[in-house]
Structure 1
Amino acid sequence: MKRITFVLWALMAIMPLAAADNSRIVQNFNFDWRFHAGDVADAHSVSFDDDGWQSVVVPHDFQISQPWVAPAKGEKADNSDIASNVKSRLSSRGFKEMGIGWYRKTFTPDEAWKGKRILLDFEGIMLVGDVYLNGERVGGTEYGYLGFDIDVSKLLKFGQPNVVAVKANTQNPENSRWYTGGGLFRDVNLIVTDPQQHFTRHPLYITTPKVSEAQATVMVQAEMACYLRVKDFKVNTKIVDGDGNTVSDVTNDIPYNRGQKVNEYIVDSVTINSPRLWSCETPHLYKAIVSILRPDGTIADQVCENFGVRWFEYSPEFGFKLNGKKVLFKGNANHHTLGALGAAAYPRAMEKRIQLLKQFGFNHIRTSHNPYSKSFLDLCDKYGMLVVDELYDKWLTQYAGGRTEWLNLWQHDVPEFVRRDRNHPSVVMWSLGNELQQYWSLPFADWGVTPYRLQRELLHRYDNTRPVTVAMHPRGRNLKTDSLPAPLALETDIASYNYRYMYFPGDSRRFPNMIFYQSEANTAMMGPNFFEMDLDKVVGLAYWGMIDYLGESNGWPAKGWVQGAFDVSLEPKPIAYLLWSMFKPDDPVVHIGIIDGDDNTVWNDVKVGSQRMSDHWNRKPGSSLSLYTYTNADEVELLVNGKSIGVKKNTTNPKGRNKIKWDNVKYEPGYIEAVAKKGGKVVARHKIETTTDAVALQATPDNEAWKADGQDLQHVRICAVDKKGRRVQGAQNDITFTVEGPAEIVGVINGDMNSEELTVGNKRRLYKGTATVILRSTREAGKVTLVATTDGLKKVKQVYKTN
């Protein structure tokens, strides 16, 4: 039987750093940009006047503030086909107009940088981009999800202002299948190093050939440049644990070949005794500080990264083990966007989502269908999230930026992708693409087999510690017989099937070495598509789109996907508690979900639409209701106003497990309560009450440690409550927000994907009684006062502090 064991000492992305002697300077370049929506002649020119442009802070998504583009009358407004009219095709991309945005930044470089190596580093430009310095094009990107740097050492003008201009282009509607956003949507940095001795881009590769609970052997490899006439040079490697204790501090002499100025070197082998292992429950992180020393002993360059010690293995016998223990992927596959913020990659917004997923029992995220930001992987390292790291959607020029042939991109993209992410402990599988094998038009005309082999070979040049996969389209089986997997599925290390988990048993019998992962699972079959798998043997699954997102609308006026377990404002829907019951079997839960209607949405020939549900008890007098109680307990008793209407047992049948159906429940004002028991004892309750009219607003902030760094966010949830302080889900008031102090509003959102409102400005309507306003700090610490007002309700005023 096939068994794949991987051992890796995994690291976080290189941290912004200035060494003690300023050997390496990483300057945040996110501030003081000017922006203009639309193409402008000569916008790259030094003499161009940008005084009238908007002042923005990066990360920035210029599409999110654009108006919605409704389909013309009579046009198809969903994703069921690709219509010729642009407005119809905008359904996938959030009903926003495609276009160009220009950014300009003027700065004067420090005179002390003369003679240094100076890089402009862009983590991403959406969807394609061009960079100009002082009027000349100096670089750019054809695939905006990956970063790049530009050596501007000899191009900067010292003692005078320099102008960086960036042209970002979202390309055409058909160049993505989802809302991408547009612009400088990730971090920009300026990096200054020693010109003669320095680390290259993404220089470290750190592996552990042996790991146990008793001891870990760590190999540290680095790519470095040296232009000195020396026999060898010195590299210091320091390891620090999570408590700040130094585990190892060693300086080694590295033999130097002057004929190869840039080379990869093994710089150290370190033994850690009794290592604190990284896991989903205990994501312990260490820190590695690696320094190149000059002949006089001073630091020429230095990089600092966090890392975790762990080992994992895959097998058809048990799926996946982490540190020797079976772990089932309980996951979410989502696009990279962040609700009201669009594509702007704010770490705090990502952290909020990861915390929410962890609360409901998730331990896995698939980065569908592109690399996420470095800060996202840092957070997955911190919170113990297992990541399937995905590079592309389909291997077609149409979906890879659209400006350059895909065949000319992957040789550059694979190394950038792998070198950037290979040291994160959270990353446990590489995915090179999504739903590919249905296309004969893929390069080399063999349904993706040869492109996969080529990319995998290149990937292995930079990392061989993880398996490699691609996600299979649900319709893509063997051309001759549907009873066999597609040839591409037989090539991959892990067989990743979107939705078609029912093929696992048959394919396993024919090909016993296959290891199975359900790379997308649908909400409509939630429960059966989990419990019907052999959970002891599969890797696990990732539910598609568990957080509602912009783009991929099934029809106007919906601006995006609505089949998630959490709405776009991050409010849990009742079905989220079914996930809780499945993913956290030892954490008792019960939750009432009342059926309001059906959604028969079909996607890729798969029914993805689920029942529309709510969890309030303000109903039409005399109505009769059907509902579910989601639970992992043995039984549930349902009561209306204290009167029992029955007790029902949970079932072990996968089709109905953890979701108990109740029909013909008569509505009576008051309350309904579900009482869950296990072993005869009450272990969980859920009670919902009939509320009276809303009388006031309440505000709940989410970030006690709000930093005054100009980037950190405060999400404030506004809720309409009645005189007893209960959420009134029927409230739909228009809320106006005002802010005083060192912060500004960067987003407003509720859970209504059909709303005509934009997610920018200072107003938002309540939906099911709630809305959220998102505040961004400035670089000045102080008190921030938020006031939320609406007609007829008591306003709310709160003061927060940034530090």
Structure 2
Amino acid sequence: MKILSNTIIIILLVTCLCDSAFGRSVEPWNFGWKFKSGNTPAAEAVSTDDSSWADINLPHDFQISQEWVEPSPDERPDMTNQMANVKSRLSPRGFKEMGIGWYRKSFVPDSAWIGKRVLLDFEGIMLTGDVYLNGTRVGGTNYGYLGTEIDLSAGLKYGQKNTVAVKADTGKPENSRWYTGGGLYRDVNLIVTDKNHYFTRNPLRITTPVISDTLSTVKIEAEIASRHRPDSLTVKIEIESPDGITVYDSTKKLRNYRSQRIREFLIDSIAVTSPQLWDTGHPDLYTLHLSLINKDGSVADTYSEHFGIRSVEFSPEFGMKLNGRKVLLKGIANHHTLGALGAAAYPRAMEKRIQLLKEFGFNHIRTSHNPYSKSFLDLCDRYGILVVDELYDKWKRQYSGDRKDWSEQWQHDVEEWVRRDRSHPSVVMWSLGNELQMISDLPFNDWGVTPYRLQKMLLDRLDGTRLSTVAMHPRGRNHFTDSLPAPLALVTDIASYNYRYMYFPGDSRRFPGMIFYQSEANTSGMGPNYFDMDLNRVVGLAYWGMIDYLGESQGWPSKGWLQGVFDISLEPKPMAYFLRSFFKPDEPVVRIAIADADDNSEWNGVTVGTTKFSSHWNRKPGESLNLCTFTNADEVELRINGKSIGRKPNNVSDSKTRNRILWENIPYTKGYIEAIAYRNGEKTPVAQHRLDTTGKATKLKIEGDNPKWKADGTDLIHVRISARDSKDRQVPDDSTPLKFHVDGPAEIAGVINGDITSEELTTGNSRRLFNGTATVILRSKREAGDVKLTVTPKEP
């Protein structure tokens, strides 16, 4: 039966794009750029004609729209060894060609900027970047995951056109194992301040050294630059409570030292009575506003920051406590990319992932293996997500820089990273690297101990309130004997092991002061790698790659990692409910998962493959099925077409079977299958799950996810399309190709389904259904109005 087309009308709400408070102007510079792929000659010159270049708005990943390139046989990766993959020209980086992209933006400087300090703040240029003003290089970046601030003041030409040009280079394939994307993939802002007195880049350090329910202390430090070096500086301090009430308002005169042009000041130490503590369940945020006042009473500069009042403690006895309460990190370790959008850092796309993770019981994200964006941390602050903030993958190999050796670069990176992130309450631990202690070419020939200590010394100077770690390679035990931890694991504040949770008890007996965190856990070991830890004493764990992502493919035609519990379009796989069953033990869960195929693949010496499950009841007549019921109930009854075929207990005494009840050789019969879960011997079910045999698809259902979609030019709405039968049931085996058309102030930012082996691009206006669903992502424009999305079957 032919599927009919469908249309949805979505309302874009008016939003205000406003500058910050008087004294500092912050203008989003994400709009009105020109882009051209390739190393274009003289692209930085003012005279270059860019009229034929593509019009784009940021964030922008220029690689995501490139064609997939199938590797030749000699380029195909060794699936058992990540390091072998770097020999491939394409496969580790998502089967996209490496290359260069140029961005240009022309403007006439505002005459009000004369005599001011005018900056461009690039939050990230992937993988390396060079920035030009009117043909002259004025700065750049050597590490794509961190930003830079460039002073344009001296080079601006008032009363005429000026041109900023940016060259972004994705580097060599060996700079990363995963898909990094390329270009101006994060925000760019133009900042104007006073030139004589101003707050420096990422100037604030907000700490809460005393915490209780009745009284807490907030310590505020800031770095200030003073060109004329007066004897004193005046700063106004205002603090708003999470309810928006001003709880502190004071003006301080700070003694200045004329010998220092830039100095860190202790601004104030404030007692807050009856504080609203930041926690995972109630992530209450205060807001600090600082104003730097000139002698004539005018405002020279302003700076604002959200912060939380909270305490974090670690111990071998209890793992981690937040505000004195034991909290177990139940987390995910994933790369920074966002499915169909590639590396482009859209806040709404990050928020959608955070909301999904929280729904399934996650409270933690490890930023594997590089810093995420500022907006990501803002969202984690707002949603109560605990972050292990990671700076690097491997220090000397797979270092995601290109032009400078890591030994020359880390001093800059540590400072930029820590100063940027240190006031976020969501950040509870620093991680300086991942799986690097086996690398023999590290400086000082001591398996990473001295490089770690050097970085930690700078890190503690800049923060000093959090512990630090480095994730251990799964095979990286002591290089003389496997019975002892690697030397690096014995000097880090937290011992972080990838996959090797089974070493925790023995290492704890030998070294009682060690604190353990399973920095990566695999899907194939799910269950034992959680329940076999001493959950009362460990910090927690982060499951690797729980959302499928581009890059690190286990073989063409797969374009990336597919061992997650959510597919690349964010549809939950059956295993997501197994995870949910123990991440949210108080919420009754039961889910039918039918075993389709086994996957015994390895990655870096670790078995990562697991049984492939599906949850549908459209099967072949006479087929015999093996299935699991994932549950945290005491027992489950299985019924087919109303007839019971048995009742089985949840064997919680064995970590290998706990919360997953196996049912073998179940005969398929058209109709429905139902799982009914019970607790405490009660007759009333606590949870149920039913799968129906569906009819043929007759219509499309279209659902948007963002009722407060804003007309700010950046906000997104994810529109899920599903094939439905005449009874409005999702048809799981429908793969109809779809075409999308948008009318109104929006554009298509990406198209995706859960098939990571698909040859289709994630850009354009078409996508086929997979397992009966697909998603189109719309980006707003900067005008309010009705947006009409029309979805039709695509003609062959």
TM-score w.r.t. length of structure 1: 0.95
User: Quick check: 1:765 aligned with 2:768?
Assistant: yes
Matched ranges for 1:10-159 at <5 A: 18-20=19-21, 22-73=22-73, 75-77=75-77, 79-80=79-80, 88-159=88-159
**Secondary structure of the corresponding residue to residue 492 of structure 1:** coil
Q: Which residue of 2 aligns with 1:208?
A: 208
- Flag the 1:743–1:545 CA change in 2: closer, same or farther, 3 A: same
* 1:589 shift after superposition: 0.7
Q: Deviations over 1:559-601 (max 9, x none)?
A: 0000000000000000000111010000111011100001111
- Quick check: 1:79–1:92 contact (8 Å CA) kept in 2? no
Q: Deviations over 1:593-616 (max 9, x none)?
A: 100001111011110111111000
- Flag the 1:517–1:662 CA change in 2: closer, same or farther, 3 A: same
**Secondary structure of the corresponding residue to residue 576 of structure 1:** helix
**Secondary structure of the corresponding residue to residue 154 of structure 1:** helix
* 1:88 shift after superposition: 3.8
Q: Which residue of 2 aligns with 1:626?
A: 626
Question: Quick one: distance in 2 between partners of 1:159 and 1:75?
Answer: 54
Question: Quick one: distance in 2 between partners of 1:272 and 1:521?
Answer: 40
**Secondary structure of the corresponding residue to residue 365 of structure 2:** strand
Match of 1:741 among 730, 741, 744: 744
Q: Deviations over 1:106-162 (max 9, x none)?
A: 011100100001111100000011001100111111101001101111111111111
- Quick check: 1:594–1:613 contact (8 Å CA) kept in 2? yes
- Flag the 1:302–1:362 CA change in 2: closer, same or farther, 3 A: same
User: Quick check: 1:458 aligned with 2:458?
Assistant: yes
* 1:791 shift after superposition: 6.1
Question: Quick one: distance in 1 between partners of 2:158 and 2:75?
Answer: 56
**Secondary structure of the corresponding residue to residue 50 of structure 1:** coil
Question: Quick one: distance in 1 between partners of 2:124 and 2:77?
Answer: 30
Question: Quick one: distance in 2 between partners of 1:345 and 1:229?
Answer: 39
Q: Which residue of 1 aligns with 2:671?
A: 670
Question: Quick one: distance in 2 between partners of 1:149 and 1:691?
Answer: 57
Q: Deviations over 1:207-243 (max 9, x none)?
A: 1121101111111000001234633121111010122
- Flag the 1:529–1:19 CA change in 2: closer, same or farther, 3 A: closer
Q: Which residue of 1 aligns with 2:444?
A: 444
Question: Quick one: distance in 2 between partners of 1:556 and 1:169?
Answer: 25
| Amino acid in the other structure paired with 1:705 | K
How many residues align? The count is 778
Match of 1:719 among 710, 713, 722: 722
Q: Which residue of 2 aligns with 1:418?
A: 418
Q: Which residue of 2 aligns with 1:644?
A: 644
- Flag the 1:735–1:294 CA change in 2: closer, same or farther, 3 A: same
* 1:166 shift after superposition: 0.4
- Flag the 1:605–1:77 CA change in 2: closer, same or farther, 3 A: closer
Match of 2:777 among 774, 777, 780: 774
Question: Quick one: distance in 1 between partners of 2:181 and 2:502?
Answer: 36
Q: Which residue of 2 aligns with 1:658?
A: 659
Question: Quick one: distance in 2 between partners of 1:259 and 1:216?
Answer: 35
Listed as ranges, the gaps of 5+ residues in structure 1 are: 1-14, 794-803
**Secondary structure of the corresponding residue to residue 760 of structure 2:** coil
| Amino acid in the other structure paired with 1:56 | I
| Amino acid in the other structure paired with 1:701 | G
Judge which range, 619-628 or 438-447, deviates more. 438-447
- Quick check: 2:20–2:26 contact (8 Å CA) kept in 1? no
Matched ranges for 1:253-332 at <5 A: 253-332=253-332
| Amino acid in the other structure paired with 1:32 | G
Question: Quick one: distance in 2 between partners of 1:229 and 1:541?
Answer: 50
Q: Deviations over 1:25-50 (max 9, x none)?
A: 01111111000011111101110011
- Quick check: 2:75–2:91 contact (8 Å CA) kept in 1? no
Q: Which residue of 1 aligns with 2:482?
A: 482
Question: Quick one: distance in 2 between partners of 1:717 and 1:390?
Answer: 33
Judge which range, 87-96 or 381-390, deviates more. 87-96
Question: Quick one: distance in 2 between partners of 1:697 and 1:563?
Answer: 29
Question: Quick one: distance in 2 between partners of 1:273 and 1:280?
Answer: 21
Q: Which residue of 2 aligns with 1:687?
A: 690
* 1:300 shift after superposition: 1.1
**Secondary structure of the corresponding residue to residue 729 of structure 2:** coil
| Amino acid in the other structure paired with 1:484 | L
* 1:397 shift after superposition: 5.6
Q: Which residue of 2 aligns with 1:187?
A: 187
Question: Quick one: distance in 1 between partners of 2:365 and 2:312?
Answer: 17
Q: Which residue of 1 aligns with 2:13?
A: none
- Quick check: 1:127–1:182 contact (8 Å CA) kept in 2? yes
Question: Quick one: distance in 1 between partners of 2:218 and 2:54?
Answer: 49
Question: Quick one: distance in 2 between partners of 1:135 and 1:774?
Answer: 37
Question: Quick one: distance in 1 between partners of 2:738 and 2:90?
Answer: 29
- Flag the 1:611–1:369 CA change in 2: closer, same or farther, 3 A: same
Q: Deviations over 1:530-572 (max 9, x none)?
A: 0000000000000000000000000000000000000000000
- Flag the 1:85–1:240 CA change in 2: closer, same or farther, 3 A: closer
* 1:307 shift after superposition: 1.2
Aligned-residue identity in percent: 65
Q: Deviations over 1:472-496 (max 9, x none)?
A: 0000001121110000000100000
Q: Deviations over 1:290-346 (max 9, x none)?
A: 111111222111111111111010000010010111100000000000000000000
* 1:257 shift after superposition: 1.4
- Flag the 1:19–1:94 CA change in 2: closer, same or farther, 3 A: closer
- Quick check: 1:504–1:516 contact (8 Å CA) kept in 2? yes
| Amino acid in the other structure paired with 1:590 | V
- Quick check: 1:35–1:103 contact (8 Å CA) kept in 2? yes
User: Quick check: 1:753 aligned with 2:751?
Assistant: no
Question: Quick one: distance in 2 between partners of 1:78 and 1:550?
Answer: 17
**Secondary structure of the corresponding residue to residue 112 of structure 2:** helix
| Amino acid in the other structure paired with 2:27 | Q
Q: Which residue of 2 aligns with 1:172?
A: 172
Question: Quick one: distance in 2 between partners of 1:342 and 1:185?
Answer: 9
Question: Quick one: distance in 1 between partners of 2:288 and 2:84?
Answer: 54
Root mean square deviation of aligned Cα: 1.6
* 1:398 shift after superposition: 4.6
- Flag the 1:531–1:239 CA change in 2: closer, same or farther, 3 A: same
| Amino acid in the other structure paired with 1:209 | P
Question: Quick one: distance in 2 between partners of 1:217 and 1:72?
Answer: 61
Q: Deviations over 1:434-458 (max 9, x none)?
A: 0011111112211111100100001
**Secondary structure of the corresponding residue to residue 309 of structure 1:** coil
Matched ranges for 1:589-608 at <5 A: 589-608=589-608
**Secondary structure of the corresponding residue to residue 153 of structure 2:** coil
**Secondary structure of the corresponding residue to residue 409 of structure 1:** helix
| Amino acid in the other structure paired with 1:780 | E
Question: Quick one: distance in 2 between partners of 1:326 and 1:120?
Answer: 43
- Flag the 1:431–1:668 CA change in 2: closer, same or farther, 3 A: same
Question: Quick one: distance in 1 between partners of 2:727 and 2:122?
Answer: 51
- Flag the 1:405–1:17 CA change in 2: closer, same or farther, 3 A: farther
TM-score w.r.t. length of structure 2: 0.96
Question: Quick one: distance in 1 between partners of 2:545 and 2:533?
Answer: 20
Matched ranges for 1:161-560 at <5 A: 161-228=161-228, 230-396=230-396, 398-560=398-560
* 1:776 shift after superposition: 0.2
- Quick check: 2:116–2:153 contact (8 Å CA) kept in 1? yes
Match of 1:783 among 783, 786, 796: 786
Question: Quick one: distance in 1 between partners of 2:75 and 2:137?
Answer: 41
Question: Quick one: distance in 1 between partners of 2:152 and 2:79?
Answer: 44
- Quick check: 2:81–2:604 contact (8 Å CA) kept in 1? no
| Amino acid in the other structure paired with 2:655 | P
- Quick check: 2:58–2:185 contact (8 Å CA) kept in 1? yes
Q: Which residue of 1 aligns with 2:711?
A: 708
* 1:789 shift after superposition: 0.6
